[in-house]
Amino acid sequence: MRLGFVGTGALSSAIVTGLKSLPGETTPVVVSPRNEEIAAELARRYPDVRIAAD
Q: What is the full per-residue pLDDT of the chain (54 aa) written as tens digits?
A: 899 999 899 999 999 999 999 999 999 999 999 999 999 999 999 999 999 997
Q: Tell me, yes or no, whether 46 lies in a domain.
A: yes
Number of domains in the chain: 1
Q: Which H helix or E strand runs over 27?
A: none
Q: Tell me, yes or no, whether 1 lies in a domain.
A: no
Task: Specify whether the CB–CB gap between 42 and 49 falls below 8 A.
Answer: yes
- Rounded to whole angstroms, how far apart are CA atoms 35 and 53? 13
Q: Tell me, yes or no, whether 2 lies in a domain.
A: no
- Quote the pLDDT of residue 7: 87
Give me the domain span that covers residue 17: 7-51
Scored b (16 or more CB within 10 A) or e, 5-24 reads: beebeeebbeebeeebeeee
